[in-house]
């Protein structure tokens, strides 16, 4: 099934006539109501032979299991309530609200308004056979059938432009059609959906012996350009790192400041950050957790694939960590033994989660006056971009980030080029000259 490409199919939907809703019978509703009344009556007036156990009416709510049921009770309830459920499903199916229709019977037939009208159907007999095939044999929904029809209509228009029937089109024609759609502004995703519909038609035609090969098989839609990683400017990153919330809890302020310094100063992933321990230990290394060596000015982290790497910790980060470690055990009576071994803990002494770091960083960036909410990976991108701008050493940035392949690191060269382009536009006399 091809998802809806709204840019091309809105007009088609608007032209479709609305069919009157079929008359629905109210009999299932009345039967369900009568059956419910019967069940209520039987519940209030049970069959003969039943005895009052002498227990309060609602005692079963707080009693232990089993709650006074037997195998006979279970069987009777199943037998009694199955017809009621069947009647309720029929009743809900007849209601006019669409969400109740979907709830009661998701596989029901869609309204006739979604089915293509005869005037909009393609005239090619092979296309009509294919649409009948997917409707009857594949039992596709009416909405999916409409989308397939639109895709094949577009293909028929392209084929008419080159004066060829559909079954004589080649891969070169399909590529030409793709180029025309792309130059017309259609997105790569939209083109991929259309190609999927065409590919299904020619696959069926090949099975029928109508074509020797599928002309759409090796044709791919244009790839959408990969978005550049979001990184802060140098001024914004420094502003966030230097920010100090004097009105906040000193314990929380010291912790959050240390987290920002490690994320931006070392380029850590958020998982690597929360996986750090306060001190090194054989147990931590076996569990795949890292630690910070303040004396050596290094952070030993375990990244993706349990690969260990060491990154330098700058002077500002060391100072922030020292301030945090001095207050870390304070809310717990100064007893570090009551804490987990984690470097960053919450107010209950447990290791901080990645989600908590996300929330705290978002709040801190807003308090610092940044226009864009900051997340941990944005600081990692900022670290890589700023180091690359200053050093131009791609291999060093690769080692600091822990990338297994340098092609992953090369994306930051695009950010560096953008920075150089902005510097050129701002500084070069010929760039500043107005036409």
pLDDT at 252 over 90: yes
Specify the pLDDT at position 204: 92
pTM: 0.49
Instruction: Please report, rounded to a whole number, the percentage of residues in the chain having pLDDT higher than 90.
Output: 15
Candidate list 67, 207, 213, 304, residue with the active-site label: 304
Specify the pLDDT at position 115: 44
Candidate list 289, 364, 380, 386, residue with the active-site label: 380
Candidate list 126, 255, 269, 289, residue with the active-site label: 269
Q: What is the average per-residue pLDDT within 23-42?
A: 75
- Degrees, nearest 5: CA angle 121-123-125: 110
- Interval 299-353: pLDDT, tens: 888 777 677 888 888 889 999 999 999 988 888 776 655 667 888 988 888 888 9
Q: Name 301's bridge partners.
A: 309
CATH, domain 234-425, list 3.40.50.2300, 1.10.132.20, 3.60.15.10, 1.10.443.10: 1.10.443.10
pLDDT band of residue 9 (cuts 50, 70, 90) is very low
Residue 412 known to be catalytic: yes
The b/e string for 335-350 (b: 16+ C-beta within 10 A; e otherwise) is eeeebebbbbbeeebe
Give the lowest-confidence range in 25-39, 117-131, 232-246: 117-131
User: Exposed (0-12), middle (13-18) or buried (19+): which is 331, by Cβ within 10 Å?
Assistant: middle
**Which range has the top average pLDDT, 25-34, 236-245, 289-298, 340-349?**
236-245
User: Is residue 141 within a helix (H) or strand (E), and if so which, with residue range?
Assistant: none
Residue 403 known to be catalytic: yes
Q: With beta carbons less than 8 A apart as the criterion, state whether 375 and 358 touch.
A: yes
The residue assigned the tokens 């065409």 is 198
pLDDT at 433 over 60: no
pLDDT band of residue 54 (cuts 50, 70, 90) is low
Specify the pLDDT at position 419: 53
Please spell the DSSP secondary structure of 328-341, one letter per residue: TTGGGTT-GGGS-S
User: Crossing angle, helix 250-266 and helix 376-391, to 10 degrees?
Assistant: 50
Specify the pLDDT at position 321: 92
DSSP-assigned letter for residue 346: -
Instruction: For residues 158 and 168, give the distance between their C-alpha atoms in angstroms, rounded to a whole number.
Output: 12
Could you give the strand order of the β-sheet that contains 308-312, starting from the edge strand earlier in sequence? 276-277, 290-293, 298-302, 308-312
Average pLDDT, the chain: 76
Specify the pLDDT at position 342: 86
User: Crossing angle, helix 394-401 and helix 376-391, to 10 degrees?
Assistant: 150
Q: With beta carbons less than 8 A apart as the criterion, state whether 308 and 301 touch.
A: yes
pLDDT at 425 over 70: no
Helix (H, G, I), strand (E, B) or coil at 297: coil
Specify the pLDDT at position 432: 53
52 vs 409 pLDDT, higher one: 409
- Interval 117-151: pLDDT, tens: 444 556 788 888 888 888 888 777 788 888 888 88
The residue assigned the tokens 């701008």 is 389
Candidate list 94, 239, 403, 419, residue with the active-site label: 403
pLDDT at 297 over 90: no
- Interval 68-110: pLDDT, tens: 456 676 677 788 788 888 777 777 765 554 444 444 444 444 4
Residue 202 known to be catalytic: no
Cis, bond preceding 66 (omega within 30 deg of 0): yes
Specify the pLDDT at position 114: 43
Q: What is the average per-residue pLDDT within 421-428?
A: 55
Q: What is the average per-residue pLDDT within 251-261?
A: 93
- Interval 174-226: pLDDT, tens: 999 999 998 888 888 888 889 988 999 999 999 999 988 899 988 888 887 66
Candidate list 135, 239, 377, 419, residue with the active-site label: 377
Instruction: For residues 22 and 44, give the distance between their C-alpha atoms in angstroms, rounded to a whole number.
Output: 40
pLDDT at 13 over 50: no
Instruction: For residues 237 and 260, give the distance between their C-alpha atoms in angstroms, rounded to a whole number.
Output: 10
Residue 304 known to be catalytic: yes
Which three-class secondary structure string do you get for 365-400? Answer: HHHCCCCCCCCHHHHHHHHHHHHHHHHCCHHHHHHH
């Amino acid at each position: 099934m091809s998802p809806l490409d709204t840019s091309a199919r809105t007009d088609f939907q608007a032209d479709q006539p609305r069919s009157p809703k079929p008359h629905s019978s109210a009999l299932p509703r009345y039967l369900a109501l009568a059956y419910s009344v019967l069940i209520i009556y039987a519940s209030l007036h049970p069959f003969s032979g039943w005895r009052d156990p002498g227990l309060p009416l609602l005692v079963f709510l707080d009693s232990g299991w089993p709650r006074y049921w037997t195998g006979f009770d279970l069987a009777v309830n199943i037998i009694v309530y199955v017809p009621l459920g069947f009647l309720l499903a029929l009743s809900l199916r007849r209601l006019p609200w669409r969400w109740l229709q979907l709830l009661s019977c998701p596989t029901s037939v869609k309204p006739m308004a979604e089915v293509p009208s005869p005037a909009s159907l393609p005239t090619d007999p092979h296309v009509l056979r294919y649409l009948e095939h997917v409707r009857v044999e594949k039992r596709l929904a009416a909405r999916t059938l409409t989308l397939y029809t639109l895709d094949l209509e577009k293909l028929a228009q392209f084929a008419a432009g080159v004066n060829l029937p559909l079954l004589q089109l080649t891969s070169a024609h399909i590529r030409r059609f793709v180029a025309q759609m792309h130059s017309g502004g259609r997105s790569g995703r939209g083109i991929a959906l259309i190609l999927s519909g065409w590919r299904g038609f020619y696959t069926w035609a090949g099975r029928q012996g109508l074509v020797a090969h599928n002309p759409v098989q090796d044709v791919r839609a244009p790839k959408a350009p990969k978005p550049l990683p979001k990184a802060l400017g140098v001024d914004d990153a420094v502003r966030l790192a230097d920010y100090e919330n004097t009105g906040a809890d000193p314990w929380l302020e010291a912790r959050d400041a240390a987290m920002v310094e490690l994320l931006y100063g070392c380029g850590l992933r958020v998982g690597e950050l929360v996986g750090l321990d306060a001190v090194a230990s054989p147990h931590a290394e076996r569990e795949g957790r890292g630690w910070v060596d303040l004396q050596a000015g290094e952070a030993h982290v375990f990244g993706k694939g349990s690969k260990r790497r060491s990154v330098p910790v700058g002077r500002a980060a060391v100072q922030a960590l020292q301030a945090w470690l001095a207050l870390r055990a304070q809310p717990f009576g100064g007893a570090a033994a009551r804490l987990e071994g984690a470097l960053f803990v919450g107010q209950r002494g447990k290791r901080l989660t990645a989600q908590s770091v996300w929330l705290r960083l978002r709040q801190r960036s807003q308090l610092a006056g940044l226009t864009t909410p900051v997340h941990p990976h944005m600081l990692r991108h900022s670290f890589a971009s700023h180091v690359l701008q200053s050093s131009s050493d791609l291999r060093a940035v690769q080692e600091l980030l822990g990338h297994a392949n340098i092609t992953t690191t090369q994306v930051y060269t695009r950010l560096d080029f953008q920075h150089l382009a902005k510097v050129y536009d701002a500084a070069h006399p010929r760039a500043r000259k107005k036409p």
